[in-house]
């Protein structure tokens, strides 16, 4: 870690977890991708909750949420895809409730809701297949 600031040290851990997830993703190692994305999500969620105006944290968290869902889909892990999708919706809605003065959060909440609907559609498609 290169910072004496706890916030930026936490960001360093989150970012390196995200980098490792991307490396596993490039190798199509979906279980390890999900594991690293989950670790990164824990840090980024904390960072966003305490610093809701820092675009870097928000953008990275959006990517982590999306990548966690993608990894679950590749593993055909229906339960995790649904859980992670709902986690994103709940997180962004909570942030919107806590910070109604930050209009950009509505976009993230809306995008998470759209993705949740896509995951629900994907799950419905899988349940109709033999």
Say if residue 37's pLDDT is above 70.
yes
The whole-angstrom separation of Cα 5 and Cα 9 is 6
Model confidence at 19, pLDDT cuts 50, 70, 90, reads very high
Those residues with Cβ within 8 angstroms of residue 59's Cβ, 6 or more apart along the chain or in another chain: none
Q: How confident is the model at residue 103 (pLDDT cuts 50, 70, 90)?
A: confident
Residues 68-86: tens digit of each pLDDT: 999 999 999 999 999 999 9
Q: For the chain, what is the mean pLDDT? A: 93
Domain spans of the chain, in order of start? 6-128
Task: Please identify, in words, the CATH class of the domain defined by 6-128.
Answer: mainly alpha
Q: Which SS3 state, helix, strand or coil, does residue 4 take? A: coil
> From residue 106, how far is each of 23, 65, 79, 83, 111 by CA, in Å?
31, 16, 26, 21, 8
Q: Which residue has the higher pLDDT, 103 or 43?
A: 43
Cα three-residue angle 17-67-19, rounded to 5 degrees: 25
What is the average pLDDT across 91-116?
94
């Amino acid at each position: 870690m290169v910072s004496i600031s706890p916030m930026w040290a936490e960001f360093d851990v989150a970012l390196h977890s995200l980098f490792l997830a991307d490396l596993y993703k490039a190798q199509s190692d979906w279980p390890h991708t999900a594991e690293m994305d989950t670790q990164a999500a824990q840090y980024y969620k904390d960072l966003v909750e305490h610093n809701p105006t820092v675009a870097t944290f928000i953008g990275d968290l959006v990517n982590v949420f999306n990548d966690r869902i993608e990894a679950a889909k590749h593993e055909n892990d229906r339960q995790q895809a649904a859980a992670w999708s709902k986690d994103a919706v709940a997180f962004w809605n909570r942030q919107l409730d806590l910070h109604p003065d930050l209009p950009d959060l509505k976009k993230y909440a809306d995008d998470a809701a759209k993705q949740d609907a896509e995951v629900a559609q994907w799950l419905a498609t899988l349940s109709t297949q033999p």
